[in-house]
Structures are given as C-alpha cells and as structure tokens.
A and B are shown apart, each in its own frame.
Chain A
Amino acid sequence: MRPEYYSFYCPVKILSGKKALAGLPYEMGLLGVKKALVVTDPGVVGASLLQKLQDALIGENLAIGVVYDRTPVDSSNKACNEIAKLFHENGCDCLIALGGGSCIDSAKGANIVISEGAADLLQFQGMDRLTKPQRPLVVIPTTAGTGSEVTLVSVIKDVDRNVKMPFVSDKLYPAIAVLDPVMTLTMPPKVTAATGMDALTHACEAYIDLQKNPVSDAFALAAVKLIFENLVAATQNGKDEDARLAMANAALLAGIGFSNSMTGVVHALAHAVGAICEIPHGVANAILLPWGLDYNLGKAARPIAELAGPLGLKNPPDNDVQRARLVIQAIRDLAGRLHELSGMAITLSEAGVAESQLERIARVAIDDGACIYNPEEIAFEDAWDILKKAY
C-alpha cells in the first residue's frame, strides 16, 4: 500500500560498530567544532561511560568544555535553560548527548534555546517551528530503544505546568549518531527489555500508521527482525556485544522509521501513562503494544499481518486477520519471555497504575499528537477501553 504522497528525511551520519567511539573526534573535526558541552546524567557517569568518552578524546583537537551531568529523568525546560547557559559561559560550539532519551532530548531542547537565541523554549512548541540552523549535536545513546539519535522530535517537560511538550522539526536531527556496543553493556536486564520493547513499538507503529511509506517501511521491517532475533539474548546476557550492537541498530532503524511515519495509539496512551503515573516509557509501550495492534485490526490487518515475515513466523495463514492475530500473539509471547527474564511488567496494574487513573489517562491520551496518525479513529471511550484491557 503506497501513499499518494510522502516525504522522507534523515541527515544523520551514523557510526556503528565496535570502537565506533574512536571515530568520533575525526568526524567532529569535519564539522569544524573544537569545544563540546556534554549532556549526561548521574547513572551514565556512575557506569564510567563519560570516562570512555573522555578517553576517546585524548590527544585529539576536540576538548570537552563542560559536562552537565544533572539531566533529570524527564528532560525539562529548566534543565534546557541551565545547559544553554553553561554552553555560552564556557564558549562551547557543539553538544554531545551521552545517555538515554532524556539526555538526548535535553540536548535537543538546549540546542533550540542556544541556536534560536530564545528566552523561552515554550514559544517553539509545535511542528516545523524552528527557523535557524542548530549547533552540531552528537548523540551517543547508552540505551537501545528511544531512537532519538535519529529523530526530529524532542519531548521536554514544562515543570511549572507539569505537561510534556513535543517539539518537532527537521532542524532537530543530530549531526552524528555513535552506536558503540560498549556504551550499552552496563544496561540492566529490565531496562534492556523495556527499551527494546520501546524500539519494537516504534517499528510496529511506523509500519502500520497513516504516514507509512515505502522508505520508512524498509527501516521498520529491518528493525522488527533485529529485535526478534536479539532482544531476548541482550536481556539474558548483557555482555553479549553482538546482541547489544544489533539492538542499538534496531533502535536506530526504528527511530528513522517512526521519525518519518510517526507513531499511533500505543504511544498516545504510553505518553499519558508516563505523564500521570510516572511509568517508564518503554514499560508502558511494552504493555500497550499488543492491545494497540489489536485495536487497529479492523483498519490495519494487512500491515500487521506483513510483520509475520520479519518475526519469523512459520507457515502463517493466508488470511490477513488471522495472520495479524498470530503476530500480536508473538509480540505478547516476547513480552512474556522478557517478563520472566527481567521482571518487566506486562500489565498496567503490575506496573503500578491504579484503576482509578485509567479515565484520566484516556482523557489526556486523546489529545496526544500521535492519535492523528493512527489508522483507526480514537475517541475517549476507545482509549479507556484499551487501557481497561491492558490493566
């Protein structure tokens, strides 16, 4: 199914593989930058990953001007303003985001403040609102799920109003993404499982949404295959560098896919679950993905069924709906296996959501921007119904 019209964009240079980090100084030299501000968090510093970055820069013409290591769990507008201030005070000319989604989104948010010369980040909410070229941003993910190293999106929390604000612009794409397996080796099994399911959700939603197109499809299908082949192995044995690298690539491929076809009802609900109940995004996605696909069976049975191939399902039936149901069951089985291996929650109640919160979550979810890209319409009652099933 080809769309009548689509556009596709991904200008990120990708360095992927063992010792990929060693190639960073040369690539940054090509960008003409000399002094970097590093955005990271205490967990990354504690796992000695900042040290690995510092080691990679020894003897090179690139210095770390300053390190911001206080990135909150949810990237916030206050953190972005602090980072921007540090950037100017230390005469930096580029940013390096070292960490998970929060560090990457904080760096993107700070870059908006720096590059637009903005006093208030809020004025740039929306789609395609940025007008000026951004400072070079290098992303070194330490989780394998968000895909933010190759996306045009940044989600920042307005701490005063307690709402998450999406910023969407082609100018938010980083300049370079570095996928080095040593940067994800220390990720605990539960985080590995949840972030991997986040990537799977990106890939699946990218493949079924209204904005799907032949180019994003290719990325999404490749991501699904890699995830089904490697997520269990990476969760079982965190030191398996091959599985780690495969998952890092899967997250990246899914990121490119969904950055060009967006996400749907699963993300709309997961954003609301995260905002109201502070459940990690990957866990919320893992719980809601099978139910979201099930909800879309009426409008998207064919694309869901087409996932049977990359999932490696043997002798699937010809009927689209039956095949799609098998795909959904395979995803449930994967989540179940990850639950056994890591303790990752597979129901909302298990994750700590109270039943009384479901109605509010549904009300917030239907205002999420992802709803518009979902194949099936989502009214409040529909969202509430999915949540009750996932509870």
Chain B
Amino acid sequence: MGDKFHRWRALGVYQLKMWIARLALLAVGVAFEVAARLNRALRDEISVWAEGFVFSLGVLPHGPSIAIKKTGRGVRCFGKGLPNPNVAILFKNIDGALLVFLGRIGTPVAAAQRRFIVHGPIAESSQVARTLAIVQSFLFPRIVVDKTYRRPPRLGASGLPIKAAIYLALVPGLILRAVR
C-alpha cells in the first residue's frame, strides 16, 4: 500500500512539474512575441536571423516544447513546437528545466551545469540565449533577474510599459498558444 501510494504521489508530482514547465514555456513564448514588437534590443538581436528562422525550447525525453519562428520584423510562438528547428535547446530533465523556468538559475549557469543540450550551430544558439535573457528580464521580477544573470539587461524607460503589456497578454496568450 505504502509503495503504491508513493508511486501515485511521485507520478502526480511529475505531472504537476510538466504542467508548470508547459505554462512557463508558453509564457516565454507570449513574452517573446510582445517584447519583439516593443523592445529595441530584442528587435536588434533577431534582426540578424533569416526570415523563417526557428528555434525551439523543450524538455527531454517527451516533455513540453515551444517553437519561436521569425516572421517579418517580429516572431510567432508555436505552443506545440515545429519540426526541424534551426536551433533546439533541450533540457535533459524536468527538474533542470524548472530551475531555469522558475528563475532559480539563469541560462549561463544552466549551461555551465550542462542542464541542457543544443542541436544546431553554436553561434545562433548564443544569439538565442541572449534573446531569452532579454525576454526573461521582462517576465521575471527584477530581484530574480539580478540574481540569475551576470549583467541583467537594462530595460530602460520603456521597460515598465513593456512588462505591463506582457503581463496583460499572458492569460489570453497562454490559451491561444496552447492550441497553436
């Protein structure tokens, strides 16, 4: 009985973590779309990507993933991922992914701890990592960003309105991207 209960409980915790990761990934996707429209630093970073460039973020082996595709001057998030991305950043397990998604550690430390693997050219992967740092600086509270990044991106005067726009877009955005 004890063993059975433990297994059910562990399975429940695992499913909960998967849902948190899925929500966190969708939140990154929504924030990326909004910030790419409104933030100049992010626009500059993605301007070097070819039209149709796709990167994906996901959790191995069968966890959630999203894809971000460059379209025109902005990006579009696909909540169920896209096949054959140019760059794929894949967390090795759900616990490692949650450390990043919940703001416990930043991308540089996650890389240093080899929490994820990268498929695709390293140069483009570095650009993706920089864009994610900018997006997370809008998504997370300042105290978290200061703790997790070596030099947190400066949001500037336009930072707060962009942050507000992202938070307002989150609820409808999460629902929309979840089915896209």
A211-B113, A376-B150 known; A369-B126 Cβ under 8 A: yes
Closest chain A residue to B114 by CB distance?
A7
| B149, A377: Cβ atoms closer than 8 Å | yes
| A375, B117: Cβ atoms closer than 8 Å | no
Q: Cα distance A158–B125 when bound, in Å?
A: 17
| B129, A372: Cβ atoms closer than 8 Å | yes
CB distance from B86 to the nearest CB of A (A): 10
| B111, A372: Cβ atoms closer than 8 Å | yes
> Residue A126 contacts which of B109, B112, B114, B118 (CB distance < 8 angstroms)?
B118
| A369, B125: Cβ atoms closer than 8 Å | yes
| B150, A125: Cβ atoms closer than 8 Å | no
| A3, B117: Cβ atoms closer than 8 Å | no
| A372, B126: Cβ atoms closer than 8 Å | yes
List A354-376 residues whose CB lies under 8 Å from chain B.
Answer: 364, 366-369, 371-373, 375-376
CB distance from B31 to the nearest CB of A (A): 21
| B112, A3: Cβ atoms closer than 8 Å | yes
| A366, B150: Cβ atoms closer than 8 Å | no
CB distance from A108 to the nearest CB of B (A): 16
| A5, B113: Cβ atoms closer than 8 Å | yes
B7-40: CB near A (< 8 Å → 1, else 0) gives 0000000000000000000000000000000000
> Residue A376 contacts which of B105, B122, B151 (CB distance < 8 angstroms)?
B151
| B151, A377: Cβ atoms closer than 8 Å | yes
Contacts of A379 in B (CB 8 A): 151
Q: Cα distance A376–B87 when bound, in Å?
A: 25
| B108, A373: Cβ atoms closer than 8 Å | yes
Closest chain B residue to A3 by CB distance?
B113
| A127, B117: Cβ atoms closer than 8 Å | yes
Chain B: interface size category = 20 to 34
CB distance from B65 to the nearest CB of A (A): 16
A283-326: CB near B (< 8 Å → 1, else 0) gives 00000000000000001000000000000000000000000000
| B149, A369: Cβ atoms closer than 8 Å | no
Chain A: interface size category = 20 to 34
Closest chain B residue to A261 by CB distance?
B112
Q: Cα distance A375–B112 when bound, in Å?
A: 10
> Residue B120 contacts which of A126, A371, A373 (CB distance < 8 angstroms)?
A126
| B112, A129: Cβ atoms closer than 8 Å | no
Contacts of A126 in B (CB 8 A): 117-122, 125
CB distance from A118 to the nearest CB of B (A): 14
Q: Cα distance A166–B151 when bound, in Å?
A: 26
Q: Cα distance A373–B150 when bound, in Å?
A: 11
Q: Cα distance A163–B122 when bound, in Å?
A: 11
CB distance from B125 to the nearest CB of A (A): 7
CB distance from B74 to the nearest CB of A (A): 22
| A368, B129: Cβ atoms closer than 8 Å | no
**A89: Cβ under 8 A from any B Cβ:** no
A3-B113, A376-B150 known; A210-B122 Cβ under 8 A: no
Contacts of A120 in B (CB 8 A): none
Q: Cα distance A371–B150 when bound, in Å?
A: 12
Contacts of A210 in B (CB 8 A): 108-109, 111-112
| B117, A262: Cβ atoms closer than 8 Å | no
Q: Cα distance A262–B111 when bound, in Å?
A: 10
**A128: Cβ under 8 A from any B Cβ:** yes
List B129-152 residues whose CB lies under 8 Å from chain A.
Answer: 129, 149-151
A179-222: CB near B (< 8 Å → 1, else 0) gives 00000000000000000000000000000011100000000000
Taking A210-B112, A367-B124, A377-B149 as given, write out 9 further A-B residue pairs in contact, using a Cβ cutoff of 8 Å, ordered by the A residue number.
A125-B122, A126-B118, A126-B119, A126-B125, A127-B119, A261-B112, A369-B122, A369-B125, A379-B151
Q: Which 9 pairs of residues, A with B, have the shortest CB-CB distance?
A: A377-B151, A210-B112, A211-B112, A369-B122, A128-B117, A367-B123, A377-B150, A127-B118, A126-B119
